[in-house]
Chain A
Amino acid sequence: MSVAIDTHGLRKRFGSTEVLAGLDLSVPAGSVFALLGPNGAGKTTTINILTTLVKPDAGVARVAGFDVAASPEEVKQRIALTGQSAAVDEVLTGTENLVMMGRLSGLGRQAARDRAAELLERFDLTDAARRRLGTYSGGMRRRLDLALSLVVDVPILFLDEPTTGLDTRSRQELWNVIRSLAEAGTTVFLTTQYLEEADRLADRIAVLDRGRIAAEGTADELKARIGGDVVELRGADGEVLLELPTDGSVHGLRAAIELLDHSPAAAVEGAQVSIRRPSLDDVFLAITAGAEASAPELIESK
């Protein structure tokens, strides 16, 4: 198995804030890797270092086999970035944006035009091809933004919070595109604050917390880390009243029921109890809250 991206002890500090405190990552080629974390965890800084935009203070990062600090030009030949703020030209039309990017990626005039038409078709933007980007909706803009990264078939694609601010339908569409890219063999490195997104898309997930990797693995591995099923108490309208993670043993389940018995929430009229697999939300809370989350405890829902 070859490695598309790997980092060792990556550090970055802006002023007095340590954004990355020794980051170790390894991303197999052809996989979808999600860097999951809250705002300010260092996700964008990580992407900026891996895409040569920012130099790390310490540590090594290699992308497509090249050191980002020593051979940035070699790295740039093999990557594409769709950043957090839409990197599109508002004044140009959809076609003009794509043709420009094609020309800058070394395509001839005709090849750039052909590729633009192909991508507009693929992203369902043909009708808007001749409109300026300024008139596009958020979802259309995001799709064109991603199309701009696909003008040439790069082996490694970086997506910084690709679906932030999108409605459910646009998000679903973008997920389909990302999945089809992965199936075609592209390595996708994405950041997200949505657990569901990481769960649906990623082969491997790394949880970033205060500049360090707090946990890494497949979605199932991460879920297994907090042990067993979650006992959930829902009110009559289906709203979650209580969530009790268990360690998966009979004893753990009994302890959870015991806790439930003594909780005033259980007395709510029409309350329903159920057992479910843990979600990444549970994992996230457990990991970022520290070790104390291993024992069953009451997690008050919002």
Chain B
Amino acid sequence: MTTITTLPTASAPVRAELGPFTAESTFIARSFRHSVRDIDAMLMAVLLPTMLMLMFTFIFGNAIDPSGGYVDYVVPGIILLCAGFGASSTAISVSRDMTTGIIDRFRTMPLRSGAVTTGHVVASLARNLVATGVVIAVALLVGFRPSATPLEWLAVFGLVALYILAITYLFAAIGLAASSPEAASGYGFILLFLPYLSSAFVPVETMPGWLQWIAENQPITPVIETIRGLLMGTPIGDSAWWAIGWCVGIVVVSVVWGGWLFRRRAGRR
């Protein structure tokens, strides 16, 4: 049955062994180019949170807190809104890779399967850190006066980066789960509502009881409380641990889920 008369040729491999980070750095460079060239998405990622902040500060700000201190309250939430907003385009990029033939080309080459996603995630991290920097700069211009020490600023930077990483990995997995880039962008939108159901814009105590429970037990609230504490000196309590726990947890779940989706989806479009 399976007798083969002539032995197939075992020729020498023609693709040279890659350096330890060659694939990753190549994909990171690719995703950076994508980010820089998608000016619309970049502008949206910076402009929309900035406009939201100005709106909350100048339109709702006086109604919520007539003493004029609302900008100090709302900026941490805006930072997270901004991070989430920029990360959502990762879902679209990943989904676009999966629905065009390019992923099949990569998968027929001897590459680590996660390398493409790593490119998208690193680019998203850089993109969102830049956008967050712009938002903080504008906030300082309109009267945001944080009391943080350099060390606390460093901690803010670390936590914001960790949060961006978590939400980007989640969006990457959503991109793998979605059937099309359009669907990916739709699912991503749901996640962007989470900051509104947290202590980002109004204190949790002002919400109805059932909503309080959701707001207090969702991942964004501890992240915001920690950042607010670091920047403004409000009490942090155990929020920092919850924040780190949630972020690390989301990264782990998203990476595992994403890896499973990738193996299942690739190759059968």
Instruction: Name B14's contact: one of A52, A60, A77 (CB within 8 Å).
Output: A77
Kindly report which residue of chain B lies nearest to residue A77, judged by CB atoms. B13
**Given the known A-B contacts A83-B101, A104-B23, are A77 and B30 also in contact in the complex, defined by CB atoms under 8 Å?**
no
**Which 7 pairs from chain A and chain B are nearest by CB?**
A106-B16, A65-B10, A77-B13, A87-B101, A53-B267, A85-B101, A87-B105
Verify if B6 is at the interface (C-beta below 8 Å from A).
Answer: yes
Instruction: Name B266's contact: one of A53, A91, A106 (CB within 8 Å).
Output: A53
What is the 8 Å Cβ interface bit string for chain A, positions 171-207, against chain B (1 contact, 0 not)?
Answer: 0000000000000000000000000000000000000
Q: How many A-B residue pairs have CB under 8 A?
A: 122
Instruction: Name B26's contact: one of A100, A148, A153 (CB within 8 Å).
Output: A100
B152–chain A nearest beta-carbon distance, Å: 39
Contact in complex: A64, B15 (CB < 8 Å): no
Instruction: Name A62's contact: one of B8, B15, B23, B110 (CB within 8 Å).
Output: B8
User: Interface residues of B toward A: which range?
Assistant: 35 or more
- Other than the known A8-B2, A106-B15, what 14 A-B pairs have Cβ atoms closer than 8 Å? A2-B9, A3-B6, A51-B108, A53-B104, A54-B268, A60-B2, A86-B101, A87-B101, A91-B33, A91-B37, A91-B38, A105-B15, A106-B16, A153-B14
Chain B residues contacting A87 (CB-CB under 8 Å) are: 100-102, 104-105
- Sample of 5 A–B contacts (CB below 8 Å): A78-B13, A79-B108, A84-B101, A87-B100, A105-B109
B5-54 contacts to A (CB < 8 Å): 6-11, 13-18, 22-23, 26, 29-30, 33-34, 37-38
Verify if A38 is at the interface (C-beta below 8 Å from B).
Answer: no
Instruction: Name A155's contact: one of B14, B102, B105 (CB within 8 Å).
Output: B14
Residues of chain A having any CB pair with chain B under 8 Å = 1-6, 8-9, 14, 29, 48, 51-54, 60, 62-66, 73-74, 76-81, 83-92, 96, 100-101, 103-107, 132, 148, 152-155
Verify if B111 is at the interface (C-beta below 8 Å from A).
Answer: yes
Chain B residues contacting A90 (CB-CB under 8 Å) are: 100
**Given the known A-B contacts A48-B267, A52-B108, A54-B267, are A92 and B13 also in contact in the complex, defined by CB atoms under 8 Å?**
no
Contact in complex: A78, B33 (CB < 8 Å): no
B255–chain A nearest beta-carbon distance, Å: 22
Kindly report which residue of chain B lies nearest to residue A27, judged by CB atoms. B8
Contact in complex: B105, A65 (CB < 8 Å): no
A154–chain B nearest beta-carbon distance, Å: 5
Contact in complex: A2, B6 (CB < 8 Å): yes
B198–chain A nearest beta-carbon distance, Å: 34
